[in-house]
Structure 1
Amino acid sequence: MAGALDAVDGTLRVAERIHANLPAMSSAQVKIAELLLEDPTAPLDLSITELADRAGTSPATVTRFCRQIGFPGYVQFRVGVATDAARGAVDDDAWRADIHRTLEPDDTPADVLRTVLSAHIRSLRATASVLDTAQSRLVAERIASARHVDIYGIGGSAALAAEMQSRLYRIGVNAHAWGEVHAGLASASLQDEGTTAIGISNSGRTKETIEMLAGAKSAGALTVAITSRSASPLAQLADVCLLAPVPEQYLHPADLSAKHSQLFVLDVLYLLVAQRDFTATASRIAASAEAVAGHRRAD
């Protein structure tokens, strides 16, 4: 998996890597994750075999776990743990207070602001750390060359589908957003090998979105899932899954930190599509801006 965040920001903590990758971990890897989130410095005192024994797994699983969160092996993983520990206990305590914080009924407005900001930042960092840039480029190429692009989403995801459709249409992509299952199924049935279909669902379990994406896949379209869980039905159905993980929800399972992660993935795809013919993209955006200029008040 080719996450991009480390190329931008080398300060991603081990715990943040673990939270970001939890949705894609096997049950055996989750045991290791839970142990390390409870005792972050354990690897400094344990060999790979001892850590595996404590987690009830095997050394090979520990090695796969290290690779899953971005380290080549256990030695490099221990260096990452040591680096985090060297940042200092005071800084670590403050960071832990923010990353594990949930909304409480007696929180002050300042507490609420800090909780929400922390949740949204963590969601974006988690998404950037696991987003597969090679797969994203492939999807962008297929979108740019597609005869027709369908984007499916229900509820809050429908708004994101509509936003992506508007952006793509403005730069010359024949895109359509569907938030109503009957219309979406009808459009899905008209897809073929020259089309692309995208399903957006945080849980990956939204029945209507799964049905629409399944219809498009049966008709021959390249199917793409944007979801927080790689093991979800939507992700398993799609030809390509782009993860938008949400480490923790602070109040509601569909909170806005999930939407920001999804929008982040969609924004990356949009810009990759726009790059393919930058001159034409700029020209179309300028033309559409000029078309509505008369409906804006002068300064």
Structure 2
Amino acid sequence: MRVEGGGNMADARAVGAQIRMRLPSLTPLEGKVAADILARKDIDAATPLRDVAQGSGVSEAMVVKVAKKLGFAGFRDFRQGLIAYYSSDTAALHSEIGPADTAGEIVQKVFRTAMQALEETFAILDLAAFERAADFLHRARVRDFYGLGGSAQIARDVSHKFLRIGIRTQVFDDAHMMAMSASLLGQGDVALAFSHSGTTSAVIDAVELARSNGAWTIAVTNYADSPLARMVDVVLCSTAQNNPLLGENATARIAQLNLLDALFVAVAQRDRAAADANLSRTMRAVQAKRKL
């Protein structure tokens, strides 16, 4: 049974994240309407549905449909959510990087955008899903991690942390190797998949095979409605606002690294004595390689 990756829409910080997470499930026209509305920072409690519809060149019914597909009860609920979100300190953290920005402005904007990703990922985090993922990883016989490109780097980072406490994992970043790994997994094993978009075919194919063989499956992704998220047992969602220069993936990586750090700690806490003992052993082994 899949555990949903969504968070609490009542939290103003989560509104922008929840909208972005659902964008891939919209049609191109619906996505344009949603993007148009999100770009309007002037919406207030008096903004009528008619004005919003005219601004996007669509019917009022289409705006209501988009609002419902984004998880709101209707236009008024959508409007109130946006007002609360754009009034929050979290939304104010993001600002676009311009060609005339100074070094100081660039650093500030990059850092603040990363802070926004962390705040919003925390706001949408499903703690029940997080706990279940930690249980799966703790109890697993074999733990195989799948990811391509930047996602593979995140997988390697968390694999390194787990090795420090004596939990062995393997990272696969090649389609054929993923398939071979998945074919050997079974009950009591875990396939942990990393895919920002949730649409990477090599990762999806491997997860599908692993799950058909009885393995537990976990996805770390930016989109709760993506093909990968829909097929796994547990979804852990990150979120990040797109930036034309940095890209969405770069900012999401910060949130995912922190999310996986928390997952690592949660797994270690399930047998803290063994984790501490193994950490001491691995630290001594590394220290012996350092020159004084």
TM-score tier, shorter chain, comes to: 0.7 to 0.9
SS of 1:295's equivalent in the other structure is coil
Matched, 1:19 2:20: no
Matched, 1:65 2:72: yes
Match of 2:231 in 1: 237
SS of 2:235's equivalent in the other structure is strand
Match of 1:134 in 2: 128
Q: Deviations over 1:127-185 (max 9, x none)?
A: 11111111010011011000001101111111111121222233232311111222221
How many angstroms does 1:190 deviate by?
0.5
Partners of 2:276 and 2:129 in 1: CA distance: 25
- How has the CA–CA distance of structure 1 residues 217 and 128 changed in structure 2, closer, same or farther, with 3 Å as cutoff? same
| Alignment check: 8 A CA contact 1:18 1:33 kept | no
How many angstroms does 1:79 deviate by?
9.9
Match of 2:282 in 1: 288
- How has the CA–CA distance of structure 1 residues 3 and 272 changed in structure 2, closer, same or farther, with 3 Å as cutoff? farther
| Alignment check: 8 A CA contact 1:17 1:129 kept | yes
Partners of 1:107 and 1:195 in 2: CA distance: 49
- How has the CA–CA distance of structure 1 residues 82 and 142 changed in structure 2, closer, same or farther, with 3 Å as cutoff? closer
Match of 2:186 in 1: 192
- How has the CA–CA distance of structure 1 residues 40 and 278 changed in structure 2, closer, same or farther, with 3 Å as cutoff? farther
Amino acid at match of 1:290: R
Matched, 1:248 2:242: yes
How many angstroms does 1:51 deviate by?
9.4
- How has the CA–CA distance of structure 1 residues 264 and 196 changed in structure 2, closer, same or farther, with 3 Å as cutoff? same
Partners of 2:163 and 2:84 in 1: CA distance: 49
Match of 2:40 in 1: 38
Amino acid at match of 1:115: K
Match of 1:70 in 2: none
SS of 1:261's equivalent in the other structure is helix
SS of 2:185's equivalent in the other structure is coil
Q: Deviations over 1:219-239 (max 9, x none)?
A: 211111111112222212222
Amino acid at match of 1:272: A
Partners of 2:14 and 2:218 in 1: CA distance: 24
Query: Normalised by the size of structure 1, how large is the TM-score?
Result: 0.76
| Alignment check: 8 A CA contact 2:134 2:266 kept | yes
Matched, 1:116 2:98: no
Partners of 1:245 and 1:274 in 2: CA distance: 25
Partners of 1:108 and 1:141 in 2: CA distance: 47
- How has the CA–CA distance of structure 1 residues 250 and 37 changed in structure 2, closer, same or farther, with 3 Å as cutoff? closer
**How many aligned residue pairs are there?**
276
How many angstroms does 1:17 deviate by?
2.7
Q: Aligned residues: percent identity?
A: 28
Amino acid at match of 1:38: R
For structure 1, list consecutive stretches of 5 or more residues without a partner in the other structure. Answer: 7-11, 68-72
Q: Deviations over 1:216-265 (max 9, x none)?
A: 11221111111111222221222221111112234143642121122122
- How has the CA–CA distance of structure 1 residues 281 and 219 changed in structure 2, closer, same or farther, with 3 Å as cutoff? same
Matched, 1:56 2:56: no
- How has the CA–CA distance of structure 1 residues 165 and 263 changed in structure 2, closer, same or farther, with 3 Å as cutoff? same
Query: Normalised by the size of structure 2, how large is the TM-score?
Result: 0.78
Partners of 1:174 and 1:218 in 2: CA distance: 23
| Alignment check: 8 A CA contact 2:241 2:251 kept | no
| Alignment check: 8 A CA contact 1:119 1:248 kept | no
Higher relative contact order (CA 8 A, sep 6+): 2
Alignment of 1:149-228 (within 5 A): 149-228=143-222
Once the two structures are overlaid, the 10-residue window that deviates more, 166-175 or 279-288, is 166-175
How many angstroms does 1:80 deviate by?
9.6
Match of 1:276 in 2: 270
SS of 1:262's equivalent in the other structure is helix
Query: Of 140, 147, 150, which aligns to 1:146?
Result: 140
- How has the CA–CA distance of structure 1 residues 62 and 292 changed in structure 2, closer, same or farther, with 3 Å as cutoff? closer
